[in-house]
A and B are shown apart, each in its own frame.
Chain A
Amino acid sequence: AQKITQTQPGMFVQEKEAVTLDCTYDTSDPSYGLFWYKQPSSGEMIFLIYQGSYDQQNATEGRYSLNFQKARKSANLVISASQLGDSAMYFCAMREGTGTASKLTFGTGTRLQVTL
């Protein structure tokens, strides 16, 4: 079974609008971390936001927020007030366990295109 599922291969959003990128995950480990990364065409993976499985509140980082619904095993990324520079691939990733053996499992990504 897929551990990280991103069902939206591509999304369009108008500048200044908000957009939600979907991510569902599958794990039996009670301790895990969820990450969102942005990958522009240059290739570098840019960290956006992190949510731990025991965190009570949804994570926020500037214009990025993570809508964490633990019972549904979803961790959707919300980008508010989209900018042209937000056009990129977005990856959801999960780390299982407590981090002594670090490994991220990535989803297939969503390509976001911000239009005027």
Chain B
Amino acid sequence: KAGVTQTPRYLIKTRGQQVTLSCSPISGHRSVSWYQQTPGQGLQFLFEYFSETQRNKGNFPGRFSGRQFSNSRSEMNVSTLELGDSALYLCASSLGQGVNGYTFGSGTRLTVV
């Protein structure tokens, strides 16, 4: 079966702009989680969506938001980009009901200039 698909793969944006990243989970998976990976802070949890509802949220400013659609695809949005938002953004999908399987996508590498 198809894996987790993240688009775009690479992105370059200017400070102050906004960006939307997309994640299509494995078919049948209802949970999508987002993580930010930077050399300085490592891997940090952003938020998790399950059945179109945000179920858990990390410690990130309100500029970071997300949503999930009825087909479980998820988007995350970052507004008013800062240089420090440059990172690899990874999403992970799972069944989300106590089953311990998280499959990650290849990530979107965002560069803010």
Q: Give me the interface of A with B, judged by CB distance under 8 Å.
A: 33, 35, 37, 42-47, 50, 52, 91, 93, 95, 98-109
Is the beta-carbon distance between B55 and A102 smaller than 8 angstroms? yes
Q: Give me the interface of B with A, judged by CB distance under 8 Å.
A: 31, 33, 35, 42-43, 45, 48, 50, 55-56, 58, 88, 90, 92, 94, 96-107, 109
Given A43-B88, A45-B92, A104 and B100 touching (CB < 8 A)?
A: no
List A contacts of B102 (CB < 8 A).
Answer: 35, 47, 102, 104
Q: Beyond A100-B55, A103-B33, list 6 extra A-B contacts (CB 8 Å).
A: A37-B104, A47-B103, A100-B98, A101-B48, A102-B94, A103-B45
Which of A35, A98, A99, A104 contacts B45 (CB under 8 A)?
A104
Which of B50, B58, B97, B106 contacts A43 (CB under 8 A)?
B106
- Separation of A31 and B41 alpha carbons in the complex (Å): 27
Is the beta-carbon distance between A44 and B94 smaller than 8 angstroms? no
- Separation of A106 and B46 alpha carbons in the complex (Å): 13
Which of B48, B56, B100, B105 contacts A44 (CB under 8 A)?
B105
Which 4 residue pairs spanning A and B have beta carbons closest together?
A45-B104, A99-B98, A106-B43, A101-B56
- Separation of A82 and B102 alpha carbons in the complex (Å): 25
- Separation of A107 and B88 alpha carbons in the complex (Å): 16
Which of A43, A50, A107 contacts B100 (CB under 8 A)?
A50
